[in-house]
Amino acid sequence: MHDEKNEKGIELRYILLLLLSLNLFAVDATLKIEKDVEQRARIALVDASPVMDEKFFKILLSDLKISGHFLADTRHHEGDINSNYLLPVLKSKEYVLKYALTKQAGTKLLIRLLKASDSTELFKKSYAIPTTTKAPFLAHKAISDINNILKYPDISWINRYVIFSRYTTPKHSEIVLADYTFNYKKVIIRGGLNLFPKWADKNQKSFYYTSYSGLTPTLYRLNIYTGNKEKITSSEGMLVCSDVSRNGTKLLLTMAPQGQADIYELDLSSGAKTRVTTFNGIDVNGKYVDDESRIVFVSNRLGYANIFKKSIHSAAVSQVVYHGRNNNACDAYGNKIVYSSRESQNSFGKNTFNLYLTSSNGSDTRPLTTTGVNQFPRFSTDGSVILFIKHRNYGSSIGYINLASHQSLLFPLSGKKIQSIDW
Amino acid sequence: MIKKIVLTTATLSLLLLTGCGQTAPDLEGANTGKNNVSDATQIAGDTVTIDENRYGNQNSADSNSSGKYNSSSDGFQSVYFAFGDYGIAPGMESRISTDANVINSSTASKIKIEGNCDEFGTDEYNYALGLKRAKAVKDSLSAQGIAANRMVIVSFGESNPVCSSPTDSCYERNRRVDLHLVK
C-alpha cells in the first residue's frame, strides 16, 4: 500500500514536470523578458478628442510598446487638452501624453507631453493631414517625436512604409503600401504578376519589383509619387532584387541568364554586372553584410538550404550557420544575420519555422521565436527591429521584435498570402 | 494535495499556452489617401496606383482537364516532380518525348517552359526550385534534339497553383512544369 502511494507520487511528479516543461517551451523567446520593466518610462495617455477613438488609442499604445522605452498605462483616460490638471491616479506615472484627434476636413492631432509629478509641459506639437486615411502615421510621428524629446534611442522606423506583394489569383498579385501596423493599406500596383518589391532608397520614394508582363521576368524601379517606371534589366528564368547597397548605387540580384540561378551585383551607374556566385545548384537571397564587400546568401550546395558567406570579388565560400537542415531565407544588417529555419520534417502540412539571430562569423546565435511558422525576416533600416510574418493555426500576423528591449508585437493579417515584404 | 497541485498547474499551463503572444487589435485600415504631414517627409505627397490588369488575365490552360493531370496548352504534356526535387522521374520521360514531338511539328519560333512549385517553399528559394525544374525539362528536350534557342524558361514559384486544396494530390499537381507555344 505504501509503495503504491510512493509510485503514484512519483507519477504525479513526472506529470508536474511535464506540464512545467510545456509552459517553458510554449512562450516565444522574445516574450519572456519583462524583467527590465523598471527601466522603461511609465506613461499614461489622456484622450481629449471630441470623439474618443479606440483604434487611434491602440495604435499609440502599440507605438509606445514596440519602442521599448515606455511602459504605457493601457487604460483609455479622458481629459481636457488645455488643462494641466491630472487625475491623482496619473501622478504615479512619469509622463502623461494628452492628445486631441479631430477628423473634420482632414485629420488633426494636437499633443502635449506633461511631467506627471508637477504637470510641467515638456513638449507640444500639432500635426495636420488633408485626409483621414493616413491617421496611423500621425500616431507614429507623435510617438517618435516624444521619444526624441526624451532623448531615447531613435525609433523613426515606425514612420516608414512597409511594402509587400500578395497573391490574388493564380499568376496575379498586387503590391501594397502599409504603415507598420497594417492599419493603413493602399494598393500601389494592381493586376498582372508583380513580385519581390524592394525599397530603392532610404527615403522610400521608389522601389524595385519584378514584373512578369513580358516573355521573361523584368526588373523595374517605380517612383511611388510620380508613377515614373524605369526598366532596370531582365533575365530568363528568374530575377529578384534581393538587396540594395546603403547608398543605393548597387543591387544584389538573383538572376538566371543561362538558366542557372546565381547572385549578381549590378552597378547602376555603369550598368556592369558582376557574377558573385557560380555554383551549379541554387544560390539566392544575397544580402550585403559587414562593410558591403561581402554577402550572405542561401544555397543548397551541401544538399539542403543553408546560409553561406563570400566576398564579392573572391571565390572562397564559407558556411555561416551550423544549425538546422533547412535554412531557406535570411536578412543582414552590418554583421548581424537573421534567418528562418525549418525545424520539423513534414513534407506536407504543418511545419515549424523559427527565426534565429546570429553574426556574420556565426557566433552569438540565439532563437528569436519558438512557436509557429515564422518567415520573411527583415531588419529595420537601423538594424534594431526585425519584421517577420507569423502563421499559426488560427491565422497569420505581421510581427516585430525589438532586439534591444526584447519587446514584440503581432498585428493580425487577413486574407491573401504574402509573397514578399520590405520596409 | 498533490492532485490539487497538478490540477492547478494544468490550469496554469492551459492559460499560458493559450495566452502567449501579444496580438494587437485588428483594425481595418483605409485604402487610399493623400497626405502632407508637417515634418514627416516620408509620407508627404500622394502616392500612385498602377493598374496592370490589361496583362495576364488568362489562367493556366486546361486546368480542368480530366484524366491524368495536365495544365500545359497546345498539345504539350506537363511534367510533374517529387517534393523538393528537380530531377525528371522515369515515369515522366514519355511526356518529355511527347513534348519534343509537339515542338518538332510546330512552326512556333519559341516555346515557353514554366517551372512551378507547391505552397511549402518560401521567398526566393521556391522560385529557384521552379527554375531548376524548368531547366531540367529544357535540358531533357535539348537531349532529344530541340534547339536550345527555341526554348525560354521562366519560374513562377508558388504563384500559379492549379488547385488549392490541402491534399497530397493537389500539392503534386502544383509541383510541375508547363509548356506553351509563344504566339
Distance from CA of B4 to the nearest CA of A (A): 11
- Contacts with B35 from chain A: Cβ below 8 Å: 129-131, 133-134, 137
Chain A contacts in chain B segment 42-61 (CB below 8 A)? 42-43, 45-56, 59-60
Structural domain includes residue B114: yes
Going residue by residue through chain A (423 aa), what tens digit of pLDDT does each one get? 444 445 555 555 554 444 444 333 333 544 444 444 458 999 999 999 999 999 999 999 999 999 999 999 999 999 999 999 888 889 899 999 999 999 988 999 999 999 999 999 999 999 999 989 999 999 999 999 999 999 999 999 999 999 999 999 999 999 999 999 999 999 999 999 999 999 999 999 999 999 999 999 999 999 999 999 999 999 999 999 999 999 999 999 999 998 889 999 999 999 999 999 999 999 999 999 999 999 999 999 999 999 999 999 999 999 999 988 889 999 999 999 999 998 866 655 567 889 999 999 888 899 999 988 899 999 999 999 999 999 877 678 999 999 988 889 999 888 788 999 999
Q: What is the CATH number of the domain that holds B98?
A: 3.30.1330.60
Please give the pLDDT value at position B83.
85
CA dihedral angle for residue B96, residue B90, residue A259, residue B142, rounded to 10 degrees = -40
Q: Please identify among residues 111-130 of chain B the ones whose CB lies closer than 8 Å to any CB of chain A.
A: 112, 119-125, 127-130
Measured in whole angstroms, the distance separating CA B69 from the mean position of its chain's CA atoms is 16
Give a yes or no: residue B47 inside a domain: no
Residue A411 is predicted with a pLDDT of 92
Asked whether residue B123 is assigned to any structural domain, the reply reads: yes
Q: Write the single-letter amino acid at A158.
A: I
> What are all long-range contacts of A168-175, with beta carbons under 8 Å and residues at least 24 apart?
A168/A416, A169/B59, A170/B59, A170/B60, A170/B159, A170/B160, A170/B161, A170/B162, A171/A212, A171/B56, A171/B59, A171/B60, A171/B156, A171/B159, A171/B160, A172/B56, A173/A419, A173/B159, A175/A209
Q: Please judge whether A285 and B60 are an interchain contact, meaning their C-beta atoms are less than 8 angstroms apart.
A: no
ipTM value for the complex: 0.84
Residues from chain A that touch B34, judged by Cβ atoms under 8 A, are: 129-131
What is A37-156's CATH superfamily?
A: TolB, N-terminal domain (3.40.50.10070)
Contact B168 A348 (CB under 8 A): yes
The structural domains of chain A, with segments of one domain joined by +, span: 37-156, 160-422
Chain B residues within an 8 Å CB radius of A63: none
Is residue B3's pLDDT more than 80?
no
Give yes or no for a contact between A174 and A401, defined as CB atoms under 8 angstroms apart: no
Residues with Cβ within 8 Å of residue A152, at least 6 apart in sequence: A67, A69
Q: Is residue B66 part of a domain?
A: no
Note whether residue B103 is domain-resident.
yes
Q: How many residues does chain A have?
A: 423
Q: Contact A328/B54, CB-based, under 8 Å?
A: no
Determine the pLDDT at residue B5. Answer: 53
d(CA A260, CA A246): 27
Mark A202-221 as b/e (b = at least 16 C-beta within 10 Å): eebbbbbbbbbeeebbbbbb
Q: What domain count does chain B have?
A: 1
- The tens digit of pLDDT for each residue in A262-282 reads 999 999 999 999 999 999 999
CB contact under 8 A, A329 and B129: no
Say if B40 falls within a structural domain: no
pLDDT tens for each residue of B82-104 = 988 899 999 999 999 999 999 99
Q: How many CB atoms lie within 10 A of CB B121?
A: 21
The torsion angles phi and psi of A250, rounded to 5 degrees, stand at -130, 145
The pLDDT value given to residue A26: 38
Task: Among A129, A159, A351, select the one facing B36 at the smallest CB separation.
Answer: A129
Report in angstroms the alpha-carbon separations of B113 from A20, A59, B83, B137: 54, 47, 19, 8
User: Which chain B residues are within 8 Å of A216, Cβ to Cβ?
Assistant: 152, 154
Cα B113-B114-B118 angle, rounded to 5 deg: 150
CB of A107 within 8 Å of a chain B CB? The answer is: no
Rounded Cα–Cα distance for residues B69 and A374 (Å):
33
Cβ–Cβ contact B15 with A under 8 A = no
Interface probe with B: pick from A220, A225, A348, most Cβ of B within 10 Å = A348
Q: How many CB atoms within 10 Å of residue A232?
A: 19
SS3 of chain B: helix, strand, coil, percent, to 5: 35, 15, 50
**A312, A310, A317, A372: which is closest to A340 by C-alpha?**
A372
Q: Which of B16, B29, B33 is facing A27, going by the closest CB pair?
A: B16
Q: How many CB pairs under 8 A join A and B?
A: 281
B23 and A217 within 8 Å at the Cβ level: the answer is: no
* Range B136-158 average pLDDT: 96
pTM of the model: 0.83
Q: What is the pLDDT of residue B38?
A: 42
Query: Mean pLDDT throughout B72-81?
Result: 94
Spell out which residues of chain B touch residue A328, defining contact as CB-CB under 8 Å.
121-123, 125
Work out the number of other CB atoms within 10 angstroms of the CB of residue A13: 13
pLDDT tens for A177-226 read 999 999 999 999 999 999 999 999 999 999 999 999 999 999 999 999 99
Helices (H), B20-68: none
Q: In the prediction, which pLDDT does B33 show?
A: 32
C-alpha torsion angle, residues A100, A101, A107, A110 (rounded to 10): 20
For the structural domain made of A160-422, what CATH number should be given? 2.120.10.30
Q: Check if the beta carbon of residue A184 is closer than 8 Å to that of residue A133.
A: yes
Mutation target vs A (from B123, B163, B172; most A CBs, 10 A cutoff):
B123
The predicted structure's pLDDT at residue B35: 37
CA within 13 Å, CB half, A284: 28
Å between B121 CA and nearest CA of chain A: 8
SS3 of residue A385 by DSSP: strand
B41 pLDDT band, cuts 50/70/90, is: very low
- pLDDT at position B30: 30
Q: Quick one: pLDDT at residue B8? A: 54
CB contact under 8 A, A348 and B83: yes
Q: What's residue A349's pLDDT? A: 55
Tell me the shortest Cα–Cα distance from A188 to chain B, in angstroms.
4
pLDDT above 50 for B40: no
Range of the domain at B140: 79-182
Q: Do A22 and B17 touch (CB under 8 A)?
A: yes
